[in-house]
Amino acid sequence: MSPYLDASAWQESWDRQQEAFLPDREERFTAMLDIVEAVAGPAPRVLDLAGGTGSISLRTLRRFPRGTTTLVDIDPVLLTIARASLDDRTAIVTTDLRDPAWTGALPHDGYDAVLSATALHWLDEDRLAALYGEIAHVLRPGGVVINADHMPDEGLPGLSKTLRDRARERRNARYAAGAATSWPGWWDLVSRDEVLAAPYAERKKIFSSTEHHDWTPPATWHEAVLREAGFTEVGLAWRGGTDAAVVAVR
Ligand SMILES: C[S@@+](CC[C@H](N)C(=O)[O-])C[C@H]1O[C@@H](n2cnc3c(N)ncnc32)[C@H](O)[C@@H]1O
Protein backbone atom coordinates (compact mmCIF):
# COMPACT_ATOMS: atom_id res chain seq x y z
CA MET A 1 0.00 0.00 0.00
CA SER A 2 1.36 3.45 -0.87
CA PRO A 3 2.00 5.84 2.01
CA TYR A 4 -1.09 7.73 3.15
CA LEU A 5 -1.31 11.13 4.81
CA ASP A 6 -4.19 11.49 7.27
CA ALA A 7 -4.55 15.24 6.75
CA SER A 8 -7.31 15.71 9.31
CA ALA A 9 -5.19 14.06 12.03
CA TRP A 10 -2.30 16.41 11.18
CA GLN A 11 -4.65 19.41 11.20
CA GLU A 12 -5.87 18.38 14.63
CA SER A 13 -2.38 17.96 16.06
CA TRP A 14 -1.26 21.29 14.53
CA ASP A 15 -4.27 23.01 16.13
CA ARG A 16 -3.52 21.49 19.58
CA GLN A 17 0.15 22.50 19.27
CA GLN A 18 -0.79 26.09 18.28
CA GLU A 19 -3.48 26.37 20.95
CA ALA A 20 -0.84 25.70 23.59
CA PHE A 21 0.57 29.12 22.59
CA LEU A 22 -2.81 30.73 21.89
CA PRO A 23 -5.63 29.38 24.07
CA ASP A 24 -8.08 31.84 22.45
CA ARG A 25 -6.96 31.08 18.88
CA GLU A 26 -10.47 30.15 17.67
CA GLU A 27 -11.99 33.31 19.15
CA ARG A 28 -9.38 35.31 17.25
CA PHE A 29 -10.11 33.56 13.93
CA THR A 30 -13.82 34.24 14.48
CA ALA A 31 -13.17 37.95 15.07
CA MET A 32 -11.18 38.08 11.81
CA LEU A 33 -13.92 36.33 9.83
CA ASP A 34 -16.63 38.56 11.34
CA ILE A 35 -14.81 41.50 9.73
CA VAL A 36 -14.45 39.64 6.42
CA GLU A 37 -18.19 38.95 6.38
CA ALA A 38 -18.98 42.59 7.14
CA VAL A 39 -16.83 43.93 4.29
CA ALA A 40 -17.35 41.19 1.69
CA GLY A 41 -20.57 39.29 2.39
CA PRO A 42 -21.03 35.54 1.86
CA ALA A 43 -18.52 34.90 -0.97
CA PRO A 44 -15.27 36.63 0.04
CA ARG A 45 -11.97 36.41 -1.85
CA VAL A 46 -9.36 35.94 0.84
CA LEU A 47 -5.57 35.86 0.73
CA ASP A 48 -4.27 33.60 3.54
CA LEU A 49 -0.77 35.00 4.07
CA ALA A 50 1.90 32.65 5.50
CA GLY A 51 -1.06 30.30 5.88
CA GLY A 52 0.86 27.10 6.74
CA THR A 53 -1.47 24.08 6.91
CA GLY A 54 -4.39 26.30 5.85
CA SER A 55 -5.92 27.05 9.25
CA ILE A 56 -7.42 30.32 7.99
CA SER A 57 -8.47 28.97 4.58
CA LEU A 58 -10.23 25.98 6.15
CA ARG A 59 -12.16 28.17 8.59
CA THR A 60 -12.99 30.71 5.86
CA LEU A 61 -14.42 28.06 3.54
CA ARG A 62 -16.30 26.30 6.33
CA ARG A 63 -18.01 29.57 7.19
CA PHE A 64 -18.37 30.89 3.60
CA PRO A 65 -18.80 27.86 1.30
CA ARG A 66 -19.03 30.18 -1.74
CA GLY A 67 -15.76 31.96 -0.86
CA THR A 68 -12.32 31.35 -2.36
CA THR A 69 -8.86 31.64 -0.84
CA THR A 70 -5.26 31.89 -1.95
CA LEU A 71 -2.79 30.36 0.49
CA VAL A 72 0.78 31.61 0.36
CA ASP A 73 3.61 29.96 2.31
CA ILE A 74 7.16 28.69 2.00
CA ASP A 75 7.14 25.56 4.18
CA PRO A 76 7.01 22.30 2.18
CA VAL A 77 5.71 20.26 5.15
CA LEU A 78 2.86 22.59 6.05
CA LEU A 79 1.96 23.01 2.38
CA THR A 80 1.83 19.22 1.92
CA ILE A 81 -0.73 19.06 4.74
CA ALA A 82 -2.60 22.05 3.27
CA ARG A 83 -2.80 20.45 -0.20
CA ALA A 84 -4.23 17.26 1.29
CA SER A 85 -6.83 19.27 3.26
CA LEU A 86 -8.17 21.90 0.86
CA ASP A 87 -10.21 21.64 -2.36
CA ASP A 88 -10.13 23.65 -5.58
CA ARG A 89 -11.60 26.74 -3.93
CA THR A 90 -8.05 27.37 -2.65
CA ALA A 91 -5.07 28.24 -4.84
CA ILE A 92 -1.84 27.25 -3.10
CA VAL A 93 1.25 29.29 -3.90
CA THR A 94 4.76 28.46 -2.71
CA THR A 95 6.64 31.70 -2.24
CA ASP A 96 8.95 33.53 0.14
CA LEU A 97 7.46 36.67 1.67
CA ARG A 98 10.97 38.03 2.18
CA ASP A 99 11.09 38.48 -1.60
CA PRO A 100 9.29 41.70 -2.68
CA ALA A 101 8.34 39.92 -5.95
CA TRP A 102 5.98 37.53 -4.09
CA THR A 103 2.85 39.32 -5.36
CA GLY A 104 3.80 38.30 -8.92
CA ALA A 105 3.04 34.67 -7.99
CA LEU A 106 -0.57 35.39 -6.98
CA PRO A 107 -3.34 34.11 -9.25
CA HIS A 108 -5.50 37.24 -8.67
CA ASP A 109 -5.48 40.74 -7.29
CA GLY A 110 -8.37 42.75 -5.89
CA TYR A 111 -8.77 40.56 -2.79
CA ASP A 112 -11.49 41.44 -0.28
CA ALA A 113 -9.24 40.52 2.65
CA VAL A 114 -5.65 39.59 3.42
CA LEU A 115 -5.49 37.59 6.67
CA SER A 116 -2.43 36.48 8.59
CA ALA A 117 -2.01 34.83 11.98
CA THR A 118 1.06 34.10 14.12
CA ALA A 119 3.42 34.40 11.20
CA LEU A 120 4.68 37.84 10.26
CA HIS A 121 6.94 38.09 13.33
CA TRP A 122 9.26 35.88 11.25
CA LEU A 123 10.03 38.93 9.10
CA ASP A 124 12.32 41.76 10.14
CA GLU A 125 11.19 45.35 10.68
CA ASP A 126 12.02 46.75 7.23
CA ARG A 127 10.59 43.76 5.40
CA LEU A 128 7.31 43.79 7.34
CA ALA A 129 6.89 47.53 6.77
CA ALA A 130 7.42 47.03 3.03
CA LEU A 131 5.07 44.02 3.02
CA TYR A 132 2.21 46.12 4.40
CA GLY A 133 2.63 48.44 1.39
CA GLU A 134 2.65 45.47 -1.02
CA ILE A 135 -0.52 44.09 0.59
CA ALA A 136 -2.31 47.39 -0.14
CA HIS A 137 -1.70 46.78 -3.86
CA VAL A 138 -3.39 43.36 -3.90
CA LEU A 139 -6.52 44.53 -2.02
CA ARG A 140 -9.54 46.09 -3.69
CA PRO A 141 -10.53 49.58 -2.46
CA GLY A 142 -12.47 49.00 0.77
CA GLY A 143 -10.74 45.63 1.31
CA VAL A 144 -9.06 44.84 4.64
CA VAL A 145 -5.82 43.43 5.95
CA ILE A 146 -5.92 41.78 9.37
CA ASN A 147 -2.71 40.64 11.05
CA ALA A 148 -2.96 38.74 14.33
CA ASP A 149 0.29 38.17 16.17
CA HIS A 150 2.16 38.76 19.39
CA MET A 151 1.63 42.53 19.84
CA PRO A 152 2.00 43.65 23.44
CA ASP A 153 0.38 46.88 24.61
CA GLU A 154 3.28 49.31 25.01
CA GLY A 155 1.54 50.99 27.94
CA LEU A 156 1.81 47.74 29.93
CA PRO A 157 5.46 46.56 29.83
CA GLY A 158 5.49 45.05 33.35
CA LEU A 159 2.09 43.42 33.12
CA SER A 160 2.91 42.07 29.64
CA LYS A 161 5.99 40.32 31.05
CA THR A 162 3.94 38.82 33.87
CA LEU A 163 1.28 37.62 31.41
CA ARG A 164 3.93 36.06 29.16
CA ASP A 165 5.59 34.31 32.12
CA ARG A 166 2.24 32.93 33.27
CA ALA A 167 1.37 31.77 29.75
CA ARG A 168 4.73 29.95 29.54
CA GLU A 169 4.06 28.18 32.85
CA ARG A 170 0.61 27.09 31.65
CA ARG A 171 2.05 25.86 28.36
CA ASN A 172 4.81 23.88 30.06
CA ALA A 173 2.25 22.29 32.38
CA ARG A 174 0.23 21.18 29.35
CA TYR A 175 3.33 19.68 27.71
CA ALA A 176 4.26 17.90 30.93
CA ALA A 177 0.74 16.45 31.20
CA GLY A 178 0.73 15.35 27.54
CA ALA A 179 -2.22 17.67 26.77
CA ALA A 180 -0.38 19.26 23.82
CA THR A 181 2.73 18.69 21.73
CA SER A 182 5.52 21.25 21.93
CA TRP A 183 6.85 22.98 18.79
CA PRO A 184 10.00 20.77 18.58
CA GLY A 185 7.95 17.72 19.58
CA TRP A 186 5.53 18.34 16.69
CA TRP A 187 8.37 18.61 14.18
CA ASP A 188 9.84 15.40 15.55
CA LEU A 189 6.53 13.63 14.77
CA VAL A 190 6.66 15.12 11.26
CA SER A 191 10.20 13.83 10.68
CA ARG A 192 9.00 10.29 11.47
CA ASP A 193 5.95 10.32 9.15
CA GLU A 194 6.48 8.35 5.95
CA VAL A 195 4.82 11.00 3.72
CA LEU A 196 6.13 14.09 5.49
CA ALA A 197 9.75 12.94 5.95
CA ALA A 198 10.78 14.04 2.42
CA PRO A 199 9.24 17.55 2.61
CA TYR A 200 10.73 17.78 6.12
CA ALA A 201 14.22 17.22 4.67
CA GLU A 202 13.49 19.95 2.11
CA ARG A 203 12.26 22.27 4.88
CA LYS A 204 15.49 21.82 6.82
CA LYS A 205 17.42 23.14 3.81
CA ILE A 206 15.14 26.19 3.49
CA PHE A 207 15.15 27.16 7.14
CA SER A 208 18.71 26.18 8.06
CA SER A 209 20.12 28.58 5.49
CA THR A 210 18.14 31.55 6.79
CA GLU A 211 17.96 33.49 9.98
CA HIS A 212 14.68 33.10 11.88
CA HIS A 213 13.57 36.51 13.11
CA ASP A 214 11.27 36.89 16.04
CA TRP A 215 10.38 40.55 15.91
CA THR A 216 7.27 41.46 17.88
CA PRO A 217 6.69 45.22 18.11
CA PRO A 218 3.62 46.64 19.87
CA ALA A 219 0.30 47.05 18.06
CA THR A 220 0.97 50.81 17.81
CA TRP A 221 3.96 50.11 15.53
CA HIS A 222 1.78 48.09 13.14
CA GLU A 223 -0.92 50.79 13.20
CA ALA A 224 1.55 53.59 12.40
CA VAL A 225 3.14 51.65 9.51
CA LEU A 226 -0.26 50.73 8.06
CA ARG A 227 -1.29 54.41 8.13
CA GLU A 228 1.96 55.34 6.39
CA ALA A 229 1.23 52.68 3.75
CA GLY A 230 -1.93 54.63 2.87
CA PHE A 231 -4.66 52.59 4.56
CA THR A 232 -7.67 54.80 5.32
CA GLU A 233 -8.81 53.31 8.65
CA VAL A 234 -6.51 51.49 11.05
CA GLY A 235 -7.15 50.01 14.49
CA LEU A 236 -7.43 46.91 16.67
CA ALA A 237 -9.81 44.15 15.64
CA TRP A 238 -9.15 42.03 18.72
CA ARG A 239 -6.95 41.76 21.80
CA GLY A 240 -6.29 38.84 24.14
CA GLY A 241 -3.48 39.25 26.66
CA THR A 242 -0.27 40.16 24.83
CA ASP A 243 -1.63 39.10 21.43
CA ALA A 244 -3.71 41.32 19.19
CA ALA A 245 -5.06 41.63 15.66
CA VAL A 246 -4.61 44.90 13.80
CA VAL A 247 -7.02 45.73 10.99
CA ALA A 248 -6.64 48.27 8.21
CA VAL A 249 -9.05 49.28 5.45
CA ARG A 250 -7.69 50.14 2.02
C1 LIG B 1 3.08 29.52 13.24
S2 LIG B 1 2.74 29.31 11.52
C3 LIG B 1 1.09 29.97 11.39
C4 LIG B 1 0.31 29.35 10.26
C5 LIG B 1 -1.19 29.68 10.23
N6 LIG B 1 -1.43 31.08 9.98
C7 LIG B 1 -1.88 29.25 11.51
O8 LIG B 1 -2.27 30.13 12.30
O9 LIG B 1 -2.04 28.04 11.71
C10 LIG B 1 3.78 30.55 10.72
C11 LIG B 1 3.81 30.38 9.20
O12 LIG B 1 4.59 31.42 8.60
C13 LIG B 1 5.24 30.84 7.47
N14 LIG B 1 6.37 31.66 7.05
C15 LIG B 1 7.41 32.07 7.83
N16 LIG B 1 8.29 32.78 7.09
C17 LIG B 1 7.78 32.83 5.82
C18 LIG B 1 8.23 33.42 4.60
N19 LIG B 1 9.39 34.10 4.55
N20 LIG B 1 7.47 33.28 3.51
C21 LIG B 1 6.30 32.59 3.55
N22 LIG B 1 5.82 32.01 4.67
C23 LIG B 1 6.56 32.12 5.79
C24 LIG B 1 5.68 29.49 8.01
O25 LIG B 1 6.07 28.60 6.98
C26 LIG B 1 4.43 29.06 8.76
O27 LIG B 1 3.52 28.41 7.93
pLDDT in tens, 27-55: 999 999 999 999 999 999 999 999 999 99
Query: What angle, 0 to 180 degrees and rounded to 10, lies between the N-to-C axes of helices 7-21 and 25-40?
Result: 110
Collect all residues with Cβ–Cβ distance below 8 Å to 27 and sequence separation of at least 6. Answer: 238, 240
Q: Determine whether the shortest distance from the Cβ of 96 to ligand 1 is under 6 A.
A: yes
Mean pLDDT (the chain, rounded): 95
Protein residue with its CA nearest to atom 27 in ligand 1: 52
Protein residue with its CA nearest to atom 10 in ligand 1: 119
Closest CA to 215 of 136, 147, 120, 93: 120
Split at pLDDT 50, 70, 90, the class of 234 is very high
pLDDT at 209: 56
Which ligand 1 atom is nearest residue 25's CA? 8
Entry pTM? 0.96
Split at pLDDT 50, 70, 90, the class of 142 is very high
> Distance from the CA of 48 to the center of ligand 1, in angstroms?
10
Class of 7-249 per CATH?
alpha beta
Alpha carbon of 187 to those of 27, 39, 101, 126, 203: distances in Å?
A: 26, 37, 29, 29, 11
Site to substitute for ligand 1 among 21, 49, 75, 190, most atoms within 8 A of C-beta: 75
pLDDT at 214: 85
> Distance from the CA of 1 to the center of ligand 1, in angstroms?
32
